[in-house]
Each structure stands twice: as C-alpha cells, then as structure tokens.
Structure 1
C-alpha cells in the first residue's frame, strides 16, 4: 500500500474509532445548568383516544432510565425539585400509510405523541414541548400484534425524543 493510501486508511480508522467511542449521547450534549441537581419525573399519563394499558408505566420507566443514565441529576419525589417533568401521551393513532396495487392498505402507521411540561424551579420558569414518532407496520396484522413487535422501538424513540427536547435543545 502506498503512503497516501496508508494515510487515508489511518484517517478512516481514527475517524471510525472517534465516532464510535463518543456514542450518540454524551454529557457534552446535555445542557443542564450547574445549579440544577434534582429532578422529579411524574408518571406519564395516557390520555390518547386509544389506550395501550401498559404504555404509561413502560414509557415512564424508560424515560427515568434515560435521564438516570445520561445525566448526573438526582431523582426525587418532591415538587420542589430543581426540574419537574410531567408528561401526557396525547396521540396513539393508526393511519394507513401505504396502499397496494389492489387499492388495499399494505402499510399502517402508528403515531405516538407526548406532551411534556418542564418546570424549572431554579428560574421559576415553565416550558412545554411536544414530541412524536411514527412506526410503520404491515396492514395484515392487528394493532395488538404490531404493538408487540413495535414496543421496543417505541420505548427507545419516544424517551430519546423527550430527553432531547428537554436537555439537548434538539
């Protein structure tokens, strides 16, 4: 291998190593003021038209774990915490997103939306955010069948979106 080829190969290896070692989320991506030390995360209520009975508890747990793993905030159950996060599942809707050549639905789309309220007790401020994600599934399966395969992705994408809205200003 010639010298320019080796240099290019070495650059590529260093680049791959640097992006793989930093991960998607680092403490550098999180913008939390130094005076914010505690957080209260309320139970995420499900007020969507269709209620998946296990989604509230699973989503709350996934978001709590995300915050715990990506920040140094201490979780407390006190409304006087530095940050208080409340959330409501306000969308859980299925629509047709693909049609076959026989004019029948071939693909359905589940949209999951969450409305967030962040109370910053250090600044006496309140902000509201909306996040949502879509999940496609085959129209030949029922929603209950689709939920069993989509749930791991829902429990990853929605807490990620919530986290990014609150802490990363994405």
Structure 2
C-alpha cells in the first residue's frame, strides 16, 4: 500500500500564519483592483420623493407572450418597493410615475450551421416613460431592447418557457438602473 510509508508531519504554525498573510494580501490587492475598476452607486432619489406609481406595462407587440406584461409589471413594482424607500400609490400626483408598453417581441435567426438555422434570437423592446414630478429634467422616455439566444431546435413556446424569467429579470434591472442609479 502506498499509505503505509506515509507519516503525518505537523505543519509549523509559522508556516500557517505565513500562508494566511499571503492569502489575505492577495484578497486585499484583488479587492482594491476591482474597486478601482467598478464603482457601484446607491439608489438615487430626491429627499422630497415619497411615492411612486407603476402602471401596468401593456403588451402591444405583434407577437404576444401572455405572461410577459404581468410578470414584468409585478417584478418592477417588487424591485422598486423592496430596494427604495418609495411607497406605491395609484395617485396621479405620485412623485415618480413609471409607465410603458412592450412594443416589440419577435424572433430572428442569429446563427447558421450546415445551411440551417442553429440559433434563434428573441428580441424584446419595452418603451418606458418615467416622469419625475420633483425634477422634470430627470424625466425621460426611452426604449429598452434585450436579445436572448436559444437553440433553433426549440419552438418559440419552448424557448419562452426557459427564457421568460431571464427576459423579465434583465429588463427589470435595466429599467430600474436607468431610473434610480447614477451610472
């Protein structure tokens, strides 16, 4: 047996301490590097802002995913309520007013192999209108477009089953960051 000749040798405590110090130094250097490359800003809300109205994001695209509007609206509401100090209201006088619609939802071929489609791409566009009633200069109206690739061997219904969560999460994050972040 190979283990017959193996003898346990205790590791010197100074070697353990030296290894821990080296590891801590590497972690600190990497942390400093990443902190200098990326800066994350907190949510930016005027001190006077107390309320937000998030209207239902209607689906006006040519192809309708029957779950997308409700799920996107709910996820955006949830994110705003959980990650800001704003209270949700249905009042026309809300300090922040978010509304929009899904304007495009279609599939294109994005990859070809052996003269056949290998990869398809789901393209989703949401038009958002943000009204800041405290500082109108921060109001905007813009489109958010995201693309999601999937195997051409899947039908759109099959792809939606696996992609809808990702679509909702990505669009919600992008909309939230555009409204509430300084980057």
TM bin (shorter chain)? 0.7 to 0.9
For normalisation by structure 1, the TM-score amounts to: 0.85
Q: Runs of 5+ in structure 1 lacking a partner?
A: 19-25
Larger radius of gyration: 2
Q: Which residue of 2 aligns with 1:109?
A: 121
**Distance (Å, rounded) in 1 between the aligned partners of 2:158 and 2:52:** 36
Which among 75, 97, 107 is matched to residue 94 of structure 1?
107
Q: 1:7: how far off? A: 3.2
**What secondary structure sits across from 1:106 in the alignment?**
strand
Q: Which residue of 1 aligns with 2:91?
A: 78
For normalisation by structure 2, the TM-score amounts to: 0.79
**Distance (Å, rounded) in 2 between the aligned partners of 1:43 and 1:15:** 46
Partner deviation per Cα, 1:39-59 (whole Å, 9 max, x = no partner):
000000111111111211111
Contact 1:129–1:165 under 8 Å retained in 2 = no
- Mapped pair 1:145 → 2:169: no
- Runs of at least 4 residues of structure 1 off by over 3 A? 1-8, 11-18
Q: 1:17: how far off? A: 9.0
Q: Runs of 5+ in structure 2 lacking a partner?
A: 1-14, 33-39
Q: 1:132: how far off? A: 1.7
- What is the aligned-residue RMSD (CA, Å)? 2.4
**Distance (Å, rounded) in 1 between the aligned partners of 2:52 and 2:153:** 43
Contact 1:132–1:161 under 8 Å retained in 2 = no
Q: Which residue of 1 aligns with 2:178?
A: 165
Which among 48, 51, 55 is matched to residue 68 of structure 2?
55
**Distance (Å, rounded) in 2 between the aligned partners of 1:60 and 1:91:** 16
Q: Compared with structure 1, are the counterparts of its residues 164 and 148 closer, same or farther at alpha carbon in structure 2 (3 Å cutoff)? A: same
Q: 1:123: how far off? A: 2.6
Which among 33, 53, 56 is matched to residue 40 of structure 1?
53
**Distance (Å, rounded) in 2 between the aligned partners of 1:15 and 1:74:** 41
Q: Which residue of 2 aligns with 1:119?
A: 131
